[in-house]
A = this chain, B = another copy of it.
Amino acid sequence: MNTTIEELITALRNVLPENQVTINQTILEQHSRDESYHPPSLPDVVVFPTTTKEVSNIMKIANKYKVPVVPFGRGSSLEGHVIPYNGGITIDFSLMNKVLEIRENDFLVRVQPGVTRSQLNKELKKYGLFFSVDPGADATLGGMAATNASGTTSVKYGGMRDQVRDLEVVLADGTVIHTGNLAAKSSSGYHLNGLFVGSEGTLGCITELTLRVYGIPEYILAARASFPSVNDAVKAVVSILQAGIPIARVELVDEHSMKQVNMYSKTDYKEKPTLFLEFHGNEAGLKQDVEFMKEIVANHNCESIEFETDNAKRNQLWEARHNLAYAYVRGYPGRKLMVTDVCLPISELAGAIEHARDALNSLGLTGGIVGHVGDGNFHVLLMIDMNDPNDIKRAEEFNETIVMYSLERGGTCTGEHGVGVGKQKYQEKEHGKALLVMEKIKQALDPNMILNPNKILKMK
């Protein structure tokens, strides 16, 4: 193998400037892990392309030497997506980080894959625009497309797949394709945008994205509502949705997690099951919606509700919510994060969260429950002691219980984090014979199985 690696590196150095190919141990280690409990594994080499042409050349070499290729954004994945368990080449996209074009009249933006969410929003603000997908982490847009990320705003604006108009993708053999166009809709040919979004680097490498953006709403109203129980809070959300009140964000944070929020963000929010809500629209419309909403939450035993129109205070509120995962990580030094990510039909959500809480209790685990409850998606955050095999075992047992509950009720094992290696074992149960179709597509597009191997699908 060593000779091959040497040959490989020589070949890479032939197509890339020297400082863009590295086997520096520290850099290899930085690319050996993500933000989750999944064990690290080193790539053989890390490359930092600056152009699509360079990516294409890298891929041609990888395909020739039949060496795995793992695309890497910020490493904020939660299911081991970027961990190179089979070694090979990690392509770090941090040098491809330019906002290439803002077509403000078309509500479109064209970016390189290494642009982060916050970087893009900073640029867009100058035009009165914003990018809607907000997974919490300041991930790269390439990474977010690769996992079909979503988050707090998807209840109104949808996830990544809903924003992608076109991708430039480098295929396994180095061919460069475009998967879409700039039109708002199309019925021309197979929906390759949708196929490549969420394919986690297993079908190709994204080198450019054209994304839909939105005008910053005329009026934004945020609210924080406390409830005596998680069940009341969830039922309030279901009622709000059923009343047809258009929510832009709705997040559930349970009492346990509110405590973490307060500790980490130095806030003094009530340590009760809480909904963080946001509404986008015009002032008259929102006022009418909010009156209706107040009645609904009152019917579900809401104990207090506070509104926030001030921009800075609203941002503080959402920042507290976004910092939650980090709050847990900081609160449990030495432990690793495991996050469940099921998503169910909304009518099953209250039952699923109750089931999760019971399962936590019966397994003697400590975990916080938070969720994008407008989508039927919730997370249980577990802090695992990786030195305690029993702790790992219980956490995995818990994860499996949660997933099975969801799959039996028409849900999915992952609403937004993706499969990576962590959710692979549930793919057959979730997709049945459709998994064979996925395998055929993978084989057709990556016959040498070099693209992020053993992610999503297990190679046979």
Bound-complex Cα distance A198 to B376 (A): 27
Query: Any chain B CB within 8 A of the CB of A413?
Result: yes
Bound-complex Cα distance A416 to B178 (A): 20
A409 to chain B, nearest CB (A): 8
Verify A417–B187 contact, CB threshold 8 A. yes
Bound-complex Cα distance A158 to B163 (A): 12
Query: Any chain B CB within 8 A of the CB of A171?
Result: yes
Stretch in contact with the other chain, from A11-19, A264-272, A280-288: A280-288
Query: Any chain B CB within 8 A of the CB of A27?
Result: no
Query: Any chain B CB within 8 A of the CB of A344?
Result: yes
Q: A343 — nearest CB in chain B belongs to which residue?
A: B183
Q: Which of B195, B347, B419 contacts A191 (CB 8 A)?
A: B195
Bound-complex Cα distance A425 to B150 (A): 37
Verify B182–A345 contact, CB threshold 8 A. yes
Q: Which of B218, B287, B426 contacts A244 (CB 8 A)?
A: B218
Verify A187–B148 contact, CB threshold 8 A. yes
Contact A436 to B106, CB < 8 A, known contacts A161-B194, A185-B150, A443-B444: no
Verify A198–B192 contact, CB threshold 8 A. no
Residues of B within 8 A of A198 (CB): 187, 189-191
Contact A195 to B184, CB < 8 A, known contacts A179-B434, A281-B285, A434-B178: no
Bound-complex Cα distance A194 to B161 (A): 10
Residues of B within 8 A of A418 (CB): 187-188
Q: Which of B188, B406, B431 contacts A412 (CB 8 A)?
A: B188
A64 to chain B, nearest CB (A): 19
Residues of B within 8 A of A288 (CB): 282-285
Residues of B within 8 A of A185 (CB): 148, 150, 154, 158-159, 343, 375, 377, 412, 415-416
Contact A376 to B184, CB < 8 A, known contacts A244-B218, A445-B437: yes
Q: Which of A32-81 contact B (CB under 8 A)?
A: none
Residues of B within 8 A of A441 (CB): 190, 441, 444-445
Residues of B within 8 A of A344 (CB): 182-183
A117 to chain B, nearest CB (A): 16
Residues of B within 8 A of A431 (CB): 177-178, 188-189
Bound-complex Cα distance A456 to B187 (A): 10
Query: Any chain B CB within 8 A of the CB of A414?
Result: yes
Q: Which of B197, B345, B432 contacts A178 (CB 8 A)?
A: B432
Q: Which of A401-460 contact B (CB under 8 A)?
A: 406, 409-419, 423, 426-427, 430-438, 440-441, 443-445, 456
A-B residue pairs, 9 tightest by C-beta: A285-B285, A194-B194, A182-B410, A186-B412, A183-B343, A444-B444, A284-B288, A284-B284, A177-B434
